[in-house]
Structure 1
Amino acid sequence: MHSHLVVAVAYDRLCTFEFGCVVELFALPRPELGVDWYRFAVCAAEGGPIRAAGGVTMTAPYTLKLLDRADTIIIPGWRDADETPPEPLLRKLRAAARRGARLCSICSGVFVLAAAGVLDGKTVTTHWRYADKLRARYPSLRVESDALYVDEETIVTAAGSAAGLDMLLHLVRRDHGGAVANRVAQRLVVPPHRDGGQAQFVPRPMPPEDDGGRLARLIDWMRAHASSAHTIESLATRAAMSGRTLQRRFREATGLGPYEWLIRERVALAKDMLETRPRLSIGVVAERAGFGSEESMRRHFRRIAMTSPAAYRQRFARGSAR
């Protein structure tokens, strides 16, 4: 049995950030994890040296023929959403899709997969700036313009730039479980998990910082005490502002009301327990995450994570109980 082969496709005018994220996640050996870690390689979409963003010039050690053996293929952001990708690359992607390889894209890389015809009828995402163009050009796609990443089993697409890192950690989570993905995230010094359905950031006026940092301190405190019971009144009292002011400023700062924000934090807590503590019953997870009842957790979990707690545990739990 060979290790899972991940291949990143490089091309002229390559986005160094997105490409670098892929290299950082999959190319570094991680013997401390005790799992059959990935093999990683880079192939060139075209001949000649590759000029990357920032003035970097690089060469890739493999040609597109390597895609015939890849288990996962990752397309970083394509250089121009209006430029048709090279036909040899598109042919290789179609062949990979037919044999069941996992095809992934970051940002405008989704235009390459779409041009190959492997996304028809799929739900996908891209950077919010490209969403309308993607819909117009490929009307058979269901474009989730407000998602960080979308997992359709053998097709996984991510929004812009940093959302690609979330998608890559999600792939690790799928392949090796939540505990391993969390350790990789810790090494990267990034949050362990952001839901694919979490909204992309869309520019909005920043709230005036005239509260002496009270809202920021409140949010930090709420995150540390997400499993506790809270009311708008108790939160407003802690922040030393009225309930109406709290709700307005909270929404300006986060895009969510305080209650919905808390629910999402509790779902994140529940996910962590479902992944890493397989001996805890669903009811105990619901109680420790602050939902009050198993039914309440199931309802919110399904709404936010698009699956049930039990199904989530079955998919992502690994290892022994802590």
Structure 2
Amino acid sequence: MLKNVVAVVYDGVGSFGLGVVSEVFGYDRSAAGLPSYDFAVVAEQPGTVRTDTGLLVVVEHGLERMATADLVCVLGWERADIRPSEALLEALRETVARGGRIMSHCSGAFVVAAAGLLDGRTVATHWMHAAELARLYPAVTVDADVLYVDDDPIFSSAGTAAGIDACLYLLRLEHGATVANAVARRMVVSPHRDGGQAQFITASVPEIDDRSLLRETLTWALGHLDTDLTVDELARRALMSPRSFARHFRTATGSTPHAWLLAQRVTLAQQLLEGTDLAVDEVARRSGLGAATTLRHHFALRVGTSPQAYRRTFRGRQPGVDGELATA
């Protein structure tokens, strides 16, 4: 049973992640009939720790407090090129060896990986750090598309708010959906989000020489995504043969014309879902994907969720209804 929770901090630690685990595990909700935890913040040396945003945290406990923890939360690590201390790494290894769990948040995965606890496992981290984590630790499978990974006894979450998703997931495992949903309501967040990090990665078009016919052709294509564009037509506009166009296209963009068009159409569909009330069928037509079934298929593959779920998540809110008003 999850009762004793520890958050490990160090200079440059992610302040948002610390806030998340403190809110979920450090706030006493027993008066509402919800579980409470013996929660502590620890550091290698007790004292003052400066977070990544400059906040100063007064830490009362050293790493020895980890010895009784059921769950150790490893928060954002500032520098991937700096190896954590052996004392911290050994404390993490001992946590797993005696049956405890570890949950990393964002770049905290680098710390857990440095301890050797992720070898042969799958881990989530912020999509911005995924390639570097995979490069430094080739024995680790890095999933850049998901919000969190359960590879018990190691849990990991992607960047920033994904830590909330991982914490609520752990509450569901420990106490059931009713408790997790109640805590989510108290925090005014969704108890479960559809999809993964792909929803939050904005597609970009590689830079191309402003004077090139290829750039002019791609700019034109972006304005005609709702039409039946073919490689032959694009090649004609660029004054190239289809074969030469495909070769120049890959050199300039790193992609094929077909893959690029598909990515731009999905991006346009995302924009239409966010900013209009158009039915999914009409969104599919205007984005050049044809039918709603085709849109759903490519949306699931590229965004990791359905068009309807994406719209619910990202549709702009009306100020004064449920939008932000002020900080408290």
TM-score bracket for this pair, using the shorter chain length: 0.5 to 0.7
Structure 2: distance between partners of 1:85 and 1:38:
27
Structure 1: distance between partners of 2:175 and 2:271:
45
Larger radius of gyration: 2
Verify: 1:123 aligned to 2:122, yes or no: yes
Verify: 1:256 aligned to 2:299, yes or no: yes
| Correspondences of 1:74-93 after superposition (within 5 Å) | 74-93=73-92
Stretches of structure 1 that go unaligned for 5 or more consecutive residues are 219-233, 266-322
Structure 1: distance between partners of 2:26 and 2:102:
18
8 Å CA contact 1:67, 1:73 repeated in 2: yes
Instruction: Provide closer, same or farther for how the CA distance between residues 117 and 209 of structure 1 changes in structure 2, counting only shifts above 3 A.
Output: closer
Structure 1: distance between partners of 2:199 and 2:75:
18
8 Å CA contact 1:207, 1:249 repeated in 2: no
Instruction: Provide closer, same or farther for how the CA distance between residues 152 and 33 of structure 1 changes in structure 2, counting only shifts above 3 A.
Output: farther
8 Å CA contact 1:70, 1:101 repeated in 2: yes
Q: Deviations over 1:149-192 (max 9, x none)?
A: 10012100111111111111111111111111111111211111
Q: Deviations over 1:98-153 (max 9, x none)?
A: 01101010111011111111111111111111111111211111111111110012
Instruction: Provide closer, same or farther for how the CA distance between residues 214 and 104 of structure 1 changes in structure 2, counting only shifts above 3 A.
Output: closer
Per the TM alignment, residue 216 of structure 1 is displaced from its structure 2 partner at its CA by 4.0
8 Å CA contact 2:16, 2:160 repeated in 1: yes
Q: Deviations over 1:194-241 (max 9, x none)?
A: 258564622225649997x886435xxxxxxxxxxxxxxx743xx5x6
Instruction: Provide closer, same or farther for how the CA distance between residues 245 and 71 of structure 1 changes in structure 2, counting only shifts above 3 A.
Output: same
Give the SS at the match of 2:40. Answer: strand
Instruction: Provide closer, same or farther for how the CA distance between residues 200 and 75 of structure 1 changes in structure 2, counting only shifts above 3 A.
Output: farther
Q: Alignment length, in residue pairs? A: 244
Q: Give the fraction of aligned pairs with identical amino acids, expressed as a percent.
A: 40
8 Å CA contact 1:150, 1:197 repeated in 2: no
Counterpart residue number, 1:170: 169
| Correspondences of 1:51-130 after superposition (within 5 Å) | 51-130=50-129
**Cα RMSD (Å):** 3.4
Counterpart residue number, 1:243: 285
Q: Which amino acid aligns with 1:172?
A: L
Verify: 1:4 aligned to 2:3, yes or no: yes
Within the candidate set 205, 211, 217, 2:277 is matched to: 217
TM-score, length basis structure 2? 0.65
Worse overlay, 244-253 or 198-207: 244-253
Q: Which amino acid aligns with 2:83?
A: T
Counterpart residue number, 2:16: 17
Per the TM alignment, residue 47 of structure 1 is displaced from its structure 2 partner at its CA by 4.6
Structure 2: distance between partners of 1:36 and 1:214:
37
Worse overlay, 145-154 or 244-253: 244-253
Structure 2: distance between partners of 1:121 and 1:11:
27
Per the TM alignment, residue 245 of structure 1 is displaced from its structure 2 partner at its CA by 3.5
Verify: 1:201 aligned to 2:244, yes or no: no
Give the SS at the match of 2:42. Answer: strand
Give the SS at the match of 2:178. Answer: helix
Structure 2: distance between partners of 1:153 and 1:178:
19
Instruction: Provide closer, same or farther for how the CA distance between residues 176 and 106 of structure 1 changes in structure 2, counting only shifts above 3 A.
Output: same
Counterpart residue number, 1:297: none
Counterpart residue number, 2:132: 133
8 Å CA contact 2:123, 2:142 repeated in 1: yes
| Correspondences of 1:28-47 after superposition (within 5 Å) | 28-47=27-46
8 Å CA contact 2:146, 2:195 repeated in 1: yes
Q: Which amino acid aligns with 1:90?
A: L
8 Å CA contact 1:128, 1:200 repeated in 2: no
Counterpart residue number, 1:27: 26
8 Å CA contact 1:3, 1:37 repeated in 2: no
Structure 2: distance between partners of 1:209 and 1:155:
33
Per the TM alignment, residue 39 of structure 1 is displaced from its structure 2 partner at its CA by 1.8
